Amino acid sequence: MRIPNLATVFAFCLLLATGPVAAVPEPRALPHPDSPARQQEPDRYSDARARMVREQIASSGWGREAVRDRRVLEAMRRVPRHRFVPEALTDHAYADRPLPIGYGQTISQPYIVAAMTELLQMEPGDRVLEIGTGSGYQAAVLAALTDSVFSIEIVAQLAAEAAVRLRKLGYVVSARQGDGYFGWSEHAPFDAIVVTAAASHIPPPLVEQLAPGGRMVIPVGPPLQVQSLVLVEKKADGSVTQRSLMPVRFVPLTRSG
């Protein structure tokens, strides 16, 4: 008769109890994108970035309309997106998809960032407020277009990391940790507001802090799946309209109208 090796049983128990995957921290924090090694490296992704703009953003197709605003395209070509994603995902930074940045937050897919920025119709010198800094990528793109960018993030760790990252990369963004619902009244009104965080309703204080002629953009959809963009416009007379836009089109629907 054979009785299994006791050591095997105990090894099994130990494996179960401690396990090789026990090192996963909670809540999930991804490796810091600004490790010294990455600071030094030359921008070996400039080709990937140019290709991203050419193939994903500036050309129609794949059920989407091309982004045409030259300044937005230039900003997308310049901002090093790979510096804003977790280190493990650096090689996917320029792929046509959103990426997780930890804490259940995401960095939107490049096309969505460009499309949202284009919708804001920013002029140099415009005051822009971002709700939901996340990795700071959208803020960097905004900062490439104007020198007056304000950004609020509720998750303290993300806020701190993004502020450091933006500063290191030389983007001028006033970033703080806090509750975006009430906007940033000290710096209001804003010519443009971009909300990247989930909201059950569009916060009335944000509509209030929108300058006459100002525009606000909010993506709608579950994490990693933007389904539509809502554009809120405040007319010169203070009246407000909203437009619901589909950034990525589902072909048969548009055909049948």
Partner 1 sequence: MTVAGTRSRARGSDVGSGSSSAGPQLLGSAVFLLSAVGLAYQIALMRVLSVAQWHHFAYMIISVAMLGFAVSGTALALARRWVTGREATLFRVTATLLPLALVGCYALSQRIGFETFELVSQPHQLWNLVALYLVLALPFALVSLCIALGFLLRPQRVGKVYFLTMAGSGVGALGVIVMLGAMGPEKIPYALSAIGAVALLMVGYDAGPRGRVLSGIGLLALGLLAATAGVQPIRVSSYKGLSYALQLPDARVVAQEVSPLSVLTAVESDLIRETPGQLSAYPMQRLGMLPEQTALYFDAGAVSPVHRFDGDLDRFAFLDYVTPALPYRLVERPRVLVIGAGGGTEVLNALAHEAEHVTAVEVEPNVFRLLGKELAEFSGGLYERPDVDPVVAEGRGYLEARPAARYDLIQISLLDSFNASAAGVHALSESYLYTREAVELYLSRLTSDGVLAITRWLSTPPRDAVKMIATMIEAAERAGLEPARHLVAVRSWNTATLALVRSPLTAAQVRSARAFASSRWLDLIIAPDLQPAEVNRFTVLEEPVYYDAARALLSSERSRFYRDNPFFVRPATDDRPHYARYFRWKTLPALRAVGVAGWGGFVEWGYVALVATLFQAAIAALALVLFPLWLFGRPPRGEARGGRGPVVVYFGALGLAYMFLEIAFIQKFMLLLDYPTYAVAVVLTGFLLFSGFGSLFADRRRQSSPRPLVRRAVLAIGGVSVLFLALLPPLFEGLSAWSDGIRIAASLCLLAPLAFAMGLPFPAGLQTVSGGSRWLVPWAWGWNGAASVVGAALATLLAVHLGFRIVVLLAIALYAAAAVSMPALQRAQATVIREGEPDPVWKGD
Q: Supply the residues annotated as catalytic.
A: 108
Does the footprint of partner 1 cover residue 10 (CB under 8 A)?
A: yes
Strand partners, 153: 177
Q: Using CB under 8 A, count the residues that bind partner 1.
A: 75
Does the footprint of partner 1 cover residue 213 (CB under 8 A)?
A: no
Shortest approach of partner 1 to residue 216 CB, angstroms?
Answer: 10
Strand partners, 84: none
Site for partner 1, residues 111 to 130, rule: CB under 8 A: 111
What does the chain come to in residues?
257
Does the footprint of partner 1 cover residue 164 (CB under 8 A)?
A: no
- Choosing from 34, 38, 48, 64, the residue that interacts with partner 1 (CB under 8 A) is 64
Does the footprint of partner 1 cover residue 181 (CB under 8 A)?
A: yes
Q: How far is CA 109 from the centre of its chain?
A: 8
Shortest approach of partner 1 to residue 181 CB, angstroms?
Answer: 6
Q: Copy the structure tokens of residue 188.
A: 């209001």
Does the footprint of partner 1 cover residue 236 (CB under 8 A)?
A: no
Shortest approach of partner 1 to residue 71 CB, angstroms?
Answer: 24
Q: How far is CA 57 from the centre of its chain?
A: 16
Place of tokens 């940045």: 101
The HSE-up count of residue 146 (CA atoms within 13 Å, CB side) is 22
The sign of the dihedral angle between the CA atoms of 94, 68, 256, 216 is positive
Does the footprint of partner 1 cover residue 91 (CB under 8 A)?
A: no
Does the footprint of partner 1 cover residue 7 (CB under 8 A)?
A: no
Phi-psi region of 103 (alpha: psi -120 to 50; beta: other; left: phi over 0): left
- Choosing from 68, 109, 130, 237, the residue that interacts with partner 1 (CB under 8 A) is 109
User: Of the ranges 46-54, 61-69, 131-139, 160-168, which one interacts with partner 1 (CB under 8 A)?
Assistant: 61-69
Q: How far is CA 89 from the centre of its chain?
A: 15
Shortest approach of partner 1 to residue 238 CB, angstroms?
Answer: 12
- Choosing from 5, 27, 36, 170, the residue that interacts with partner 1 (CB under 8 A) is 27
> Any alpha helices (H) in the chain, and if so which ranges?
6-18, 36-40, 46-52, 70-78, 110-120, 137-143, 156-168, 204-208, 251-256
As a whole number of angstroms, the distance between CA 63 and CA 249 comes to 5
Does the footprint of partner 1 cover residue 248 (CB under 8 A)?
A: yes
Does the footprint of partner 1 cover residue 4 (CB under 8 A)?
A: yes
Q: How far is CA 151 from the centre of its chain?
A: 12
Does the footprint of partner 1 cover residue 78 (CB under 8 A)?
A: no
**Cβ-based nearer residue to partner 1, 119 or 145:** 119
**Cβ-based nearer residue to partner 1, 75 or 218:** 218
**Cβ-based nearer residue to partner 1, 23 or 37:** 23
As a whole number of angstroms, the distance between CA 158 and CA 106 comes to 11
